[in-house]
Amino acid sequence: MSDSEEVRSAAPSGRATIKEAAPAKINLFLHVGDKRADGFHPLQSLAVFTGLGDFLAIETASGLSLTLEGPFAKGLEAESDNLVLRAARALGGKGAKLTLTKNLPVASGIGGGSADAAAALRGLNSLWNCGKDSTAQCEIAAVLGSDIPVCVLSTPCFMEGRGEILRAPESMPRVPMLLVNPRVAVPTKDVFAALQTRSGVDMTLPRGRFRDTADLLRFLETTRNDLEAPALALQPVIGEVLAAIAGLPGALFTRMSGSGATCFGIFADDESCARAAQVLKDAAPGWWVAPTFVPETGIAREVLGRDIGPTPDGL
């Protein structure tokens, strides 16, 4: 069962309960173009989703409510109109009791709020029997936010337009990844306001597959995150995070995700990633440090079978 796959069960009261994972979204690269007439920036990106994320439990109820739990719940308490509730109303606004376990830092560039809203769309679509397929859910999601359509799918995707044009690469290897946030929030609007240099959106995106990590890294070396420089100007500690990850044994690639301040490091294997996480936790106890991985998709593997041997009737 994948992280984004729903689980339907019965609550103690007999009410239906649906559980949806809201995995962290990582922008492996992010190119930005000039602002469009509608006020949005066109972009090109490759988004992937990790084994780490928030968690949304949904129960049938007469009214619509949201309860916040988890280590980063306090970061959302001041919001009077959470994206999860906006997603519920956009889908129909019927009754449901939603409980969001917030495991990801808020305003951290890894799509936490967008992933939560997408989880609400998926789960409530099932609970309320709305019958909307992923395409219809993505159309609703696009109205709510540019990052939400890709979070509805929660699979590796190239993003274009303002985020609503999605195409999945044929394959993606398993990618051990270390996520690090210095526990500073970086509002996306402030980062875009400080943006001066843009890569533009004319890059020819790969049409084939990423066969292994080396294949993926060769591509990423030709890209950048245009929001990294303005985010660094707003929060110089991001530079310290990038340098710290790059200096860890086994780090193959380092970059900031989205509008920051979360940065990621790609590692050769899970063991080196876990060791690096412990080293950094000891060195920077005030930072949020989380080892995780991007699941592989579309990789064909040979399965060894038994040799054909003699039968009662001979060879």
What is the SS3 assignment for 54-79? EEEEEECCCCEEEEEECCCHHHHCCC
Q: What's the number of domains the chain is made of?
A: 2
d(CA 256, CA 274): 19
Q: Which helix (H) or strand (E) holds 156?
A: none
Range list of H helices, 44-172: 83-91, 112-127, 134-144, 148-153
Q: What pLDDT score does 303 carry?
A: 57
pLDDT tens digits along 211-236: 999 999 999 999 999 999 999 999 99
Where the chain has pLDDT below 50, the residues are: 1-12, 307-309, 311, 314-315
Q: Which of 3, 25, 81, 313 is catalytic?
A: 25
- Report yes or no: 87 and 117 within 8 Å, Cβ to Cβ: yes
Phi-psi region of 299 (alpha: psi -120 to 50; beta: other; left: phi over 0): beta
2 domain residue, yes or no: no
Q: Are residues 163 and 181 in the same domain?
A: no
Q: How many CB atoms lie within 10 A of CB 93?
A: 13
Q: What pLDDT score does 93 carry?
A: 76
- Report yes or no: 101 and 58 within 8 Å, Cβ to Cβ: no
Q: Are residues 139 and 275 in the same domain?
A: no
Q: Are residues 22 and 45 in the same domain?
A: yes
- Report yes or no: 108 and 256 within 8 Å, Cβ to Cβ: no
- Report yes or no: 210 and 173 within 8 Å, Cβ to Cβ: yes
97 domain residue, yes or no: yes
25 belongs to the catalytic site: yes
Q: What pLDDT score does 8 carry?
A: 40
Q: Are residues 23 and 96 in the same domain?
A: yes
Q: Are residues 24 and 161 in the same domain?
A: yes
Q: Which helix (H) or strand (E) holds 33?
A: none
Rg (CA), the chain: 21
**In which domain, by residue range, is 208 found?**
175-294
pLDDT tens digits along 27-36: 999 999 999 9
**∠ CA 157-162-164 to the nearest 5 degrees?**
50
Q: What pLDDT score does 304 carry?
A: 58
User: What is the pTM for the complete model shown?
Assistant: 0.90
Q: Are residues 138 and 183 in the same domain?
A: no
312 domain residue, yes or no: no
Q: Are residues 185 and 266 in the same domain?
A: yes
Q: Which of 54, 97, 102, 147 is catalytic?
A: 147
215 belongs to the catalytic site: no
Residue 182, CA atoms < 13 Å, CB-side half-sphere = 19
**Final residue belonging to a domain, choices 110, 138, 167:** 167
307 domain residue, yes or no: no
Q: Are residues 38 and 128 in the same domain?
A: yes
Q: Are residues 14 and 142 in the same domain?
A: yes
Q: Are residues 156 and 12 in the same domain?
A: yes
Q: Are residues 18 and 148 in the same domain?
A: yes
